[in-house]
Amino acid sequence: MCAIMGYLGKELKLEKFREYFEKTVSRGPDMSRIRELDGAILGFHRLAIMGLTDEGMQPFELHGSYAVCNGEIYGFRPIKAELSKEYDFASDSDCEIILPMYEKYGVGMFEKLDAEFACIIYDGAKKSFVAARDPIGIRPLFYGYTDDGGIEFASEAKNLVGLCKRVIPFPPGHYYADGKFVRYRDVTEVSEYVSGDLDTICKSIHDKLVAGVEKRLDADAPLGFLLSGGLDSSLVCAISQKLLKKPIRTFAIGMSEDAIDLKYAREAADFIGSDHSEIIITKDDVISSLEEVIAALGTYDITTIRASMGMYLICREIHRTTDVRVLMTGEISDELFGYKYTDFAPSAEEFRREAVKRVRELYMYDVLRADRCISVNSMEARVPFGDLDFASYVMSIDPELKMNRYGKGKYLLRRAFIGDYLPEDLLMREKAAFSDAVGHSMVDYLKEYANSLYSDEDFARLSEKYDFARPFTKESLLYREIFEKYYPGQAEMVADFWMPNKSWEGCDVDDPSARVLSNYGDSGK
Edge-to-edge order in the sheet of strand 151-154: 31-37, 40-46, 3-8, 151-154, 142-145, 168-169
Is there a contact between 221 and 256 (Cβ–Cβ < 8 Å)? no
Q: Name the β-bridge partners of 132.
A: 119, 175
Instruction: Enumerate residues 6+ apart whose C-beta is below 8 A from 394.
Output: 205, 336, 337, 402
Show the CA angle centred on residue 141, arms to residues 137 and 146, nearest 5°.
145
Active site residue 2: yes
DSSP class of residue 502 equals T
The dihedral built from the CA positions of residue 418, 420, 424 and 430, taken in this order, carries a sign that is negative
Nearest to 65 by CA among 112, 9, 117, 103: 103
Task: Return the CA Rg of the chain.
Answer: 22
Is there a contact between 328 and 226 (Cβ–Cβ < 8 Å)? yes
Show the CA angle centred on residue 493, arms to residues 110 and 504, nearest 5°.
95
Question: Using CB atoms within 10 A of its CB, is residue 34 exposed (0-12), middle (13-18) or buried (19+)?
Answer: middle
Q: Name the β-bridge partners of 5.
A: 43, 154
Answer left, alpha or beta for residue 245, where phi above 0 means left and psi between -120 and 50 means alpha.
Answer: left
Main-chain dihedrals φ then ψ at residue 316, nearest 5 degrees: -60, -40
Is there a contact between 470 and 479 (Cβ–Cβ < 8 Å)? no
What DSSP letter does each residue of 486-501 carry, written as one string?
HSTT-GGGS-S-----
Out of 2, 119, 164, 373, the active site residue is: 2
d(CA 72, CA 93): 9
What DSSP letter does each residue of 160-177 carry, written as one string?
TBTTBSS-EEPPTTEEEE
Rounded (10°) angle between helices 366-375 and 302-321: 30
Nearest to 468 by CA among 499, 498, 501, 493: 493
DSSP class of residue 430 equals P
Instruction: Enumerate residues 6+ apart whose C-beta is below 8 A from 131.
Output: 6, 118, 119, 120, 121, 141, 143, 153, 170, 175, 176
Give me the active site residues, please: 2
